[in-house]
Chain A
């Protein structure tokens, strides 16, 4: 982020969403909105910078450190810039039983990156995640809200090619 803190702001539609989220909780319990609001922030900026965290703290009327400790505790919030598509690949046992490790190796070779890295064209970021609660349909990865299941090398090729267009 190059913007200065006071330039960080939700779009009007997202600000409405945030207000609606805050209104879900009892009076004085607006901190409950923190996790959902951070998801909205990530939707807008792709990741959650410290400027964004400060901004969210202001909206919820809580201290910035209360946002930092939450954003760094949960694994879904990206604390660094990411590519257009973040591939969140399940590395847990049941997926591995279904050949998840081999498919993962293929995916890494295909993208030419290791977990935590982004492809040079900025299209893909690879992230290893733990169990996605889809073990019967493994191997599995997720890109945003979409689950890609019963993965094979061929399927991975198709998905990557499709998303590269």
Chain B
């Protein structure tokens, strides 16, 4: 069995309560940090751990903390990004629902490290029931002296506020999240200034993902160096993977970074393989925005090496033959999946979720959706394929925030690896629009 950092106690009955969590060693890291360490020492452990942002960007958390400006007399804020909305990703939902005190303990330690006295957990509004679980846990922690004024007699004060979103994928982008937290539309801000200098209420702010922060109790208890021994190279520690699609056992799994894609996909400890009687066609490894891979590039890289579940190995080969670990949204497609239909579906998602601020994204996502809709519905022309590639190139890199890239990559990669399937839709509109029709290469329809 692989080592568990986040989910070791997740199945203990009653773990959502303070008492049970405490009995499993909960809040000892808060005691250690607040009673025996300085904030700088806590930041140092985060840096040593090498833990990278688990929301998708993969930026080292300790380094991000190091950028926080600390002007005299200005409050600093920590905001936890729990706006999990990337299609294929549901790990934070699972973690907060099952073991809310882990995030709260992580928030206390992280807030202490950053010198924040008021911290926020911004949860997507659809998870109102999870918000109630978190609020209950916060009340428990406060009653036990781990939150509020003068925590554990240290003189350190911290209030935790859980903020609901209103339904908007874009608020997962950190500056859109801050706008939303200020009670505005979720329009991403131009950077610089970065949140570390001017964030929430124009004050220095750190925004970190739920899973990233939830690693902190273990890192404080065991040391950043110990954390860094798990994993491979710059992919340290464990990662929660949300597994969905055509597999035997969908769910949330904690892996040690470095396990092979082959093992994750096929072993009974994790996905248990593609569903019975079917075979692997494609994989989206890190949430809907990362490039889709065809079967021959999933378990092996283009160079023939084993593909590993690490930031580096998944991106081996660049976008030509690789992808990204992203948020760990692992979506598996068997041979019954229509890549054109799925690409249209994802396109519709990004069009729906574009905030509308930047023209390339606002207009381009709509065009891509429209063109993909007509290809899928038997009205495409050969020119449409190049048109899609052209639009995707004109969106990528030309927007304030990464939503534009996120919208462009699935389309560009689907055409890169499954062009013949798009061509078939255009040349065989009658067959392609039959219910459940899927292109099978030279073979017959499913």
Chain A residues packing against B (C-beta within 8 Å): 24-26, 29, 31-36, 38-39, 60, 62, 66, 69-70, 73-77, 88, 91-94, 96-98, 129-138, 142, 144-147
Contact = CB atoms under 8 A, between A and B. Distances in A.
B244 A70 contact: no
A interface, by DSSP: helix, strand, loop or mixed? Answer: mixed
Given A29-B182, A133-B85, 15 more contacts: A29-B201, A31-B182, A32-B183, A39-B125, A69-B185, A70-B183, A73-B166, A77-B167, A88-B126, A91-B348, A129-B167, A131-B85, A133-B93, A136-B250, A145-B132
A26 B75 CA distance: 10
B182 A133 contact: no
Given A75-B168, A77-B166, A133-B124, A97 B333 contact: yes
Contact of B345 (A24, A92, A134): A92
A136 B352 contact: no
B250 A137 contact: yes
Contacts of A93: 87-88, 288, 331, 342, 345-346, 349
Contact of A135 (B90, B129, B346, B353): B90
A96 B345 contact: yes
A38 B166 contact: yes
Contact of B183 (A33, A130, A135, A138): A33
Contacts of A129: 126, 167
Residue from the set A35, A39, A77 with the largest chain B CB neighbour count within 10 Å: A35
Contacts of B180: 35
A76 B167 contact: yes
9 contacts: A26-B75, A35-B163, A35-B166, A88-B126, A130-B87, A135-B88, A135-B90, A136-B252, A147-B129
Contacts of A132: 126
Nearest to B83: A133
A35 B346 contact: no
B205 interface: no
A24 B161 contact: yes
A70 B185 contact: yes
A74 B168 CA distance: 6
B168 A31 contact: no
Interface residues of B, number: 57
Contacts of A98: 244-245
A133 to B, nearest CB: 4
Interface in B162-188: 163-169, 180-186
B89 A133 contact: yes
A136 B349 contact: no
A163 to B, nearest CB: 18
A76 B167 CA distance: 5
7 closest Cβ contacts across the A-B interface? A74-B166, A76-B167, A34-B183, A31-B183, A75-B167, A136-B250, A135-B244
A94 B185 CA distance: 27
B96 to A, nearest CB: 10
B183 A35 contact: yes
B127 interface: yes
B89 A35 contact: no
B118 interface: yes
Nearest to B355: A73
B89 A135 contact: yes
B78 interface: no
Nearest to B245: A97
B312 to A, nearest CB: 25
Nearest to A96: B345
B346 A136 contact: no
B240 to A, nearest CB: 12
B90 A136 contact: yes
Contacts of A130: 85, 87, 169, 349, 352-353
Given A35-B164, A70-B184, A74-B165, A135 B331 contact: yes
Contacts of B166: 35, 38-39, 70, 73-77
A14 B355 CA distance: 31
